[in-house]
Structure 1
Amino acid sequence: MTSAPDRLALRADLLDFDADPGWAVPDPATGLVPGVRWRPDHWLLVEDGRIAGVEPAAAFTPDAAVWSVEDRRGRLLMPGFIDTHVHSPQLDVIASYGTELLDWLETYTFPAEMRHADPAVAVAGAELFLDALLAHGTTSAVVFPTVHVSSTEALLAGAHHRGMRLITGKVLMDRHAPEGLRDDVPGAERDSRALIRRWHGTGRLAYAMTVRFAPTSTPEQLAMAGRLMMEVPGLYMQTHVAENRAEVAWVAELFPEARSYLDVYHRAGLLGERAVLAHGIWLDDADRALLADTGAQIAHSPSSNLFLGSGLIGWPELEAAGARVSLASDVGGGTSLSMLRTLADAYKVQALRGVRLTAWKALHGATLGAAEALGLAHEIGALEVGRTADLALWDWAAGPVATHRDARARQLHERVFAWMTLGDERNLAATWIAGRALFRRAPIR
């Protein structure tokens, strides 16, 4: 772990958001829409891990005796990406062949997660996962470990060591899972309380009651999670909802008293402003209204939805109802930790529905929009004075084809959209957590 300079001055092209750009069509001449904040060739000033100022390079020269200076002009500097749904142990099974959701769990996910009962495997897996996030430009995440305390401890300890903003918690599963992946209500409550006491609010960590999905928790376990949500201030809740049609039908059989899959969680007291529900493809108007009423968000996982053949989310319809949507890689159903690849897939999902997703709307959902949905916009998601300096520095193009395309962009949105569509982790030059460079691609010119 590197130490952070007291004062850091970074020169680059600055891109972030000060509002939701919505679904507005970019201006044909400039490529801009309201909400986009574009500050080419500026200095970003960082003091004690927080953004202290932004100055145009033409009017400001940092004193090298005062500032640690990094002149990266010509590169793109953005807030680090926020991945609102990802599974740390599933790097073991990313890019596995041939199944839909329920078969995927039985064939690939559950066997992989059982290995993380071994503390050594859990620590090695957490270290690999956290370093991989940083090497993909992701600085904050909402993460599923496994049902094992060792997996959760390893992930929380690793994130704390790196100073990362991470939301996670022990997975809850007391039925319809293999031996070795099931807990029980008393044990799950005991383990959750111990983990909350140790980690919730430590450094930049927050604990999440982590319900795998409704079929793998009994009503009693869901009720226990709901009680803890009521009891402990600031807890998050993460789970899956309405990802796959066979899954939705199974939930209806298991919970006949519930109006819908989403209603199962509502009845247990699990929906609220800190609830993060992955997928949300097969929802109806009443579900969308319930999301809006409770403040819960959908973590849209386009790469996973395409790879597993789950379906195409109605993102504009969710927002029109007042629900919040953020972006997520959902590795290992998703095929990359790169949020650029994730956003490119989000464009394809909407294109299949006849909707055109701009680069602005997509990038907002993985930066400021995600921070707002998590209640963390005061800390992350924007290049704003006072925010924590979680940053990612990008090359506009990697390789001859992307470089050729970048040189022919006529306005800013065209350039950013090509970067988003053609780019991935190869474009990443450096990642900072609270002003500390925790990833650098070598060499950096």
Structure 2
Amino acid sequence: MNHLVTGQVLLFDDDPFTVPPTEAARVLSDGAVAIDGDGRIAGVGERGRLETEFPGAARSAMGDALILPGFVDAHMHYPQTGIVASWGKRLIDWLNTYTFPAEMQLADPAHAADLAKRTLDLALAHGTTTLASFCTIHPQSVDAFFAAAAERSMAVVAGKTCMDRNAPPGLLDTAQTAYDESKTLLAHWHGTGRARYAITPRFSPTSTPDQLSALGALWSEHPDCLMQTHLSEQLDEIAWVRDLFPDARDYLDTYESHGLLGGNGLYGHAIHLEPRERDRLREVGAALVHCPTSNTFIGSGVFDMGQAKAEGLRVGLATDTGGGSSFSMLRTMAAAYEIAQLAGTALHPAQLLWLATEGSARALKMEAEIGTLEMGSAADLVALDLASTPAIAQRVAQAEDPWEAIFPTIMMGDDRAVAGVWVAGRRSAGSC
């Protein structure tokens, strides 16, 4: 049965970083999204027209709520859900104090399953319908995440995190087991339902050259898969990489020389890049993933969004929980705005919303399936109440255009702003 979700509808006609944002995006004040019986978008436009085209369709009337694609979180760590907002110092201290002990617990399949379900339910409550997650070295952690996502019909990306040095013994594999177990998991999950596999070396300091080469070989055998890792997050991390790889030209070269640089690569953080690194990432079409709440929480540095987009780099947006301090992509957009201001760029609301939807979907190479309201895309939607708190409502009452009405929710909104979530056309049980 067809279904109409009515309200204000946000549409993107172009990339708001390549054309003026107000030309790239528009808001239909009385719009609708039509969903077909297969959970895909069958039409988008003015409400009256769609009511005529889809007579008898069921209705979710969202009033003045803003309807847009479900948020896409392009880099996070579901094993760290339980340690989000833990007091920390620098990256390596934080890993040793909180992350590694938490990840060791996922050797227990029951714990992994509980944590995966909790993470996905928290994401949906905040309007996020797709996540790209690092798992742990334990294959059961990958199975748990994909299984929980399948139960919720969510499109997700995940992979076994591989480490064979500089971590506790209980979190180490080998070059061979990393290859073998990743290959088995990839064969089982990649393309099964809405699951996508990502080959996942944590970062160069925790993988020997042999392990990086093994994972590079696996990627060359399965080039349609994504590869996710971390790059140039903190200056002391970069110095550590230099000590571990004295022959490398730079941090990126530790991946490039082992077959781990490509257009399907996702490089989290990427704050302190050298000119050669920026050039190579652009040349191959790789994606950077900006993690603003994490970058401030752990004191990593200022990512220059204006420079990255001006240079033609692909960029997604992510919470990076638990290093990031919020499950909310609204809070993540707010942090991205604040960090961009520090770097000299004032991001428009349309640019922020694009980053959290289509931009992140493009980073994941999934824009044909998620992140847009294009015909045939999966009907993964979020409806945002633009007056969810008194503080936001009093600001919206003074708005003179749609962007002035939307921006306060980006800056001050949280899960209270999420009026409804649809995944593959079905309203999420956790929606209001």
| TM-score, structure 2 normalization | 0.97
Kindly provide the amino acid, as one letter, of the partner of residue 58 in structure 2. S
Q: What is the correspondence of 1:96-135 to structure 2 with a 5 Å cutoff?
A: 96-135=86-125
Out of 315, 331, 344, the residue aligned to residue 354 of structure 1 is 344
Out of 12, 15, 23, the residue aligned to residue 20 of structure 1 is 15
Q: Does 1:405 align with 2:395?
A: yes
CA contact (8 A) 1:299 1:328 kept: yes
Residue aligned with 1:180, SS: helix
Paired position in structure 2 for 1:138: 128
- Per-residue deviation at 1:18? 2.4
* Structure 2 spans left out of the alignment, 5+ residues: none
Paired position in structure 2 for 1:225: 215
Q: Would the alpha carbon gap of residues 247 and 348 (structure 1) be closer, same or farther in structure 2, given more than 3 Å must change?
A: same
CA contact (8 A) 1:397 1:423 kept: no
Out of 8, 22, 37, the residue aligned to residue 33 of structure 1 is 22
Out of 34, 42, 45, the residue aligned to residue 45 of structure 1 is 34
CA distance in 1, matches of 2:402, 2:427: 28
Q: CA RMSD in A?
A: 1.6
- Per-residue deviation at 1:407? 0.8
Out of 275, 291, 297, the residue aligned to residue 265 of structure 2 is 275
CA contact (8 A) 2:234 2:300 kept: yes
Kindly provide the amino acid, as one letter, of the partner of residue 43 in structure 1. A
Q: What is the correspondence of 1:248-287 to structure 2 with a 5 Å cutoff?
A: 248-287=238-277
| TM-score, structure 1 normalization | 0.94
CA distance in 1, matches of 2:186, 2:116: 19
Kindly provide the amino acid, as one letter, of the partner of residue 18 in structure 1. D
Out of 308, 316, 323, the residue aligned to residue 333 of structure 1 is 323
Kindly provide the amino acid, as one letter, of the partner of residue 24 in structure 2. G
Q: What is the correspondence of 1:72-221 to structure 2 with a 5 Å cutoff?
A: 72-221=62-211
Q: Would the alpha carbon gap of residues 215 and 66 (structure 1) be closer, same or farther in structure 2, given more than 3 Å must change?
A: same
- Per-residue deviation at 1:24? 6.7
CA contact (8 A) 2:178 2:215 kept: no
Q: How many residue pairs get matched?
A: 431
Residue aligned with 1:388, SS: coil
CA contact (8 A) 1:432 1:439 kept: no
CA contact (8 A) 1:173 1:216 kept: yes
Paired position in structure 2 for 1:433: 423
Paired position in structure 1 for 2:228: 238
Residue aligned with 1:367, SS: helix
- Per-residue deviation at 1:374? 2.1
Q: Would the alpha carbon gap of residues 63 and 296 (structure 1) be closer, same or farther in structure 2, given more than 3 Å must change?
A: closer
CA distance in 2, matches of 1:428, 1:138: 10
- Per-residue deviation at 1:440? 4.1
Q: Percent identity?
A: 43
CA distance in 2, matches of 1:42, 1:78: 11
Residue aligned with 1:409, SS: coil
Kindly provide the amino acid, as one letter, of the partner of residue 243 in structure 1. E
- Per-residue deviation at 1:60? 4.7
Paired position in structure 2 for 1:421: 411
Residue aligned with 2:428, SS: strand
CA distance in 2, matches of 1:151, 1:60: 43
CA distance in 2, matches of 1:157, 1:271: 29
* Structure 1 spans left out of the alignment, 5+ residues: 1-5, 26-31
CA distance in 2, matches of 1:117, 1:350: 39
